[in-house]
Structure 1
Amino acid sequence: MSESAYRVDTISRLAQWRIEALSSCTYRKSDPFKIGLWNWYLTVERNKQLFVKLYPEASSVARVQPPIASFIIKLVSCSAPIRKALAHPGVCDKQLKNNDDFIWAVDTTFVGKFIIDVEFLDLKIVPQPGREPSSIWSGYFNKEHSLSTALSSLARMLTESIRTDITINSSSGSIGAHRAVLATRSPVFLSMFSHNLQENKLSTVNISDMSFEACQAFLNYIYGNFQPDEFLTHRIALLRAADKYDISDLKEACHDSLLEDIDAMNVLERLQTAHLYRLPRLKTGCLRYLVKFGKIYEIHDDFNLFLQSADRELIAEIFHEILAA
């Protein structure tokens, strides 16, 4: 049997294992695959029923901080002419330590090739004894992409409106800010405040395509006073602002985040966003999700509507990916 028979393909929070036909009393264990902090295994066994197991690799990380997982798992038949799928009801906040913590016993008549499809909705750990579990993904951008070196006094300048000299007008409110700080973080603002432009004369910048809350999140990022929850809420608006004002680190943070949680509900919007803002990794991830991982069959109607309004260049890329698959 080829080595690829044990490989699990992953993209974002999705894992897929392609299985050849199983005879009765057949057992197979996948190669390890990485999602979050852990390496994982899938096993499949046919013995009257089909038994599917998912568990983390035994390691120091899994022993000290075992994952608390929420996920959706499916079996998808690849036999022509019709793809069939069986879905588990779903697992929410289940701690997985060993290979007996999650077992799915399935009555199925699948023959031929099929796919085990696992989409992780969340992975949590208990950071310290006695503390509540926290998502490994929710706090990532607070630590990695916020301006960790910014002094607390810089954040106070924004939150307490200390000696502000420029007003930012959003679509639903105004915020006082500082020319020097904005110019330091953005070459667009630097150019704006270095010339005799209207914004410099009137001491105002109009950002009418951002809500007050999104604009506040944007300034919080610039001032190093950023919170992970506001990032996840406003990341599309933040991406748009990062592109408009040439703040490359914020754009890259948005790029990484949007790539991390692609799913069937948002993949077409993400693909359009990736094309519009020139995000190659996100575009590749969305195309792989749709084509290589077969999700295009699950959103057939939405995909047809998408093709009616999408950019022709993007449509050509999609069909090139389909033909190459």
Structure 2
Amino acid sequence: MSDSAYRVDTTPRLAQWRIDTLSSCTYRKSDPFKIGLWNWYLTVERNKQLYVKLYPEVSTATREQPPIASFVIKLVSSASPNRKTLVHPGVCDKQLKNNDDFVWAVDTLLTGRFVIDVEFLDLKIAPPTGGEPISIWTGYHIEKHSKSTALSALGRMLTEAIHTDITINAADGSIAAHRAVLASRSPVFRSMFSHNLKEKELSTVNISDMSFDACQAFLNYIYGNFKPDEFLTHRLALLRAADKYDISDLKEACHESLLEDIDTKNVLERLQTAYLYHLPKLKSSCMRFLVHFGKIYEIRDDFNAFLLNGDRELIAEIFHEVLAAWKGL
């Protein structure tokens, strides 16, 4: 069978797969074809009935933003003189993730050549931040480009010190920034610049508990210049700053990141951090790592030192978890 037997022809919203012959008890899967943001597949199977499936290719994009599709699908038989056409009732705003999300069971027997014709009326994605799904064909790309361009310009304002009006003094250096940007991201900064405090009068903010590099990472995050390496390097400092200046999205980003690499070398520090900054998931994960997985016995010396210097209430919680685990044995 030639490669063309699996090829799906497309326009921006239309896909057609031409099937020359399909014997009984046959399964056939098309080559991938691109519509919108996703690669798609069509399959057809004849086993008493004819089954047609449409689904997106499994990928990171599909998992993170699965398509929400509206489409009309038809089977057009070219074998008969009057081009017999079977039309599915139509699909509206159906989320498609795998090959079982749309299955069309066709009772009518089709012989000879036929075409599977799929017209995509709309494709939507759910915004990562929640809310109503948005169409990728109603300005989605323009909106995405606009946001990307604006974010890039905002980052240049910081890196090129364009019309800065405030100086951030870290422990070992200073960085020029913008009151309006800081105030829009942090209610604490907004309060500083709205009242007759020394920060407003002197046009400086002293962050003496952060190194220059950590402070640069902090401002890079605020301005949208996110850099994964510096974020990982300065997570704890960024967490402290996020808590101090009430930047909840940064605090949650640090929380999620600290969950990902708990080990015997850092678990006690992470546990203390979770307790201090009220991070329930991190605290629970550290407790589970120590008690459920028995790692508390592998770090006896470190844990004994922790008992001497750690928070009494936190230590009591650890012993409570240990006792509960013993009772469960």
Range into which the TM-score falls when normalised by the shorter chain = 0.5 to 0.7
Partners in 1 of 2:320 and 2:195 — Cα distance? 46
Structure with more relative contact order (C-alpha pairs < 8 Å, separation 6 or more):
1
Unaligned runs of 5+ in 2: 1-56, 61-146
Q: CA deviation at 1:235?
A: 0.4
**Partner residue in 1 for 2:222:** 222
Q: Does 1:170 align with 2:170?
A: yes
Partners in 1 of 2:286 and 2:149 — Cα distance? 34
**Which digits, 9 at most, give the CA deviation of each residue in 1:190-240, with x for residues without a partner?**
000000000000000000000000000000000001100000000000000
**Paired residues for 1:193-204 under 5 Å:** 193-204=193-204
**Which digits, 9 at most, give the CA deviation of each residue in 1:100-159, with x for residues without a partner?**
xxxxxxxxxxxxxxxxxxxxxxxxxxxxxxxxxxxxxxxxxxxxxxx9785211000000
**Partner residue in 2 for 1:157:** 157
Aligned partner letter, 2:198 = Q
TM-score, length of structure 1 as denominator length:
0.55
**Paired residues for 1:1-325 under 5 Å:** 151-325=151-325
Q: CA deviation at 1:323?
A: 1.0
Q: CA deviation at 1:324?
A: 1.1
Aligned partner letter, 2:184 = T
How many residues in Structure 1 have an aligned counterpart in Structure 2?
183
Please state whether the residue corresponding to 1:205 is helix, strand or coil.
Answer: strand
Query: Contact 1:150/1:223 (CA < 8 Å) preserved in 2?
Result: no
Please state whether the residue corresponding to 2:234 is helix, strand or coil.
Answer: helix
Unaligned runs of 5+ in 1: 1-58, 63-146
Query: Contact 1:187/1:245 (CA < 8 Å) preserved in 2?
Result: yes
Query: Contact 1:150/1:224 (CA < 8 Å) preserved in 2?
Result: no
**Partner residue in 2 for 1:15:** none
Q: 1:245–1:321: structure 2 CA closer, same or farther, 3 Å change rule?
A: same
**Partner residue in 2 for 1:30:** none
Partners in 2 of 1:285 and 1:244 — Cα distance? 24
Q: 1:149–1:192: structure 2 CA closer, same or farther, 3 Å change rule?
A: farther
Moved over 3 A (4+): 59-62, 147-150
Aligned partner letter, 2:275 = H
**Which digits, 9 at most, give the CA deviation of each residue in 1:146-189, with x for residues without a partner?**
x9785211000000000000000000100000000000000000
Aligned partner letter, 2:166 = I
C-alpha RMSD over aligned residues: 1.8
Aligned partner letter, 1:189 = F
Aligned partner letter, 2:266 = N
Partners in 2 of 1:279 and 1:151 — Cα distance? 29
Q: 1:260–1:293: structure 2 CA closer, same or farther, 3 Å change rule?
A: same
Partners in 1 of 2:162 and 2:242 — Cα distance? 25
Q: CA deviation at 1:61?
A: 6.7
Partners in 2 of 1:184 and 1:60 — Cα distance? 39
Q: 1:151–1:260: structure 2 CA closer, same or farther, 3 Å change rule?
A: same
Please state whether the residue corresponding to 1:262 is helix, strand or coil.
Answer: coil
Identity %: 79
Partners in 1 of 2:152 and 2:176 — Cα distance? 18
* Structure of greater Rg: 2
Q: CA deviation at 1:60?
A: 6.4
Q: 1:221–1:61: structure 2 CA closer, same or farther, 3 Å change rule?
A: closer
**Which digits, 9 at most, give the CA deviation of each residue in 1:24-46, with x for residues without a partner?**
xxxxxxxxxxxxxxxxxxxxxxx
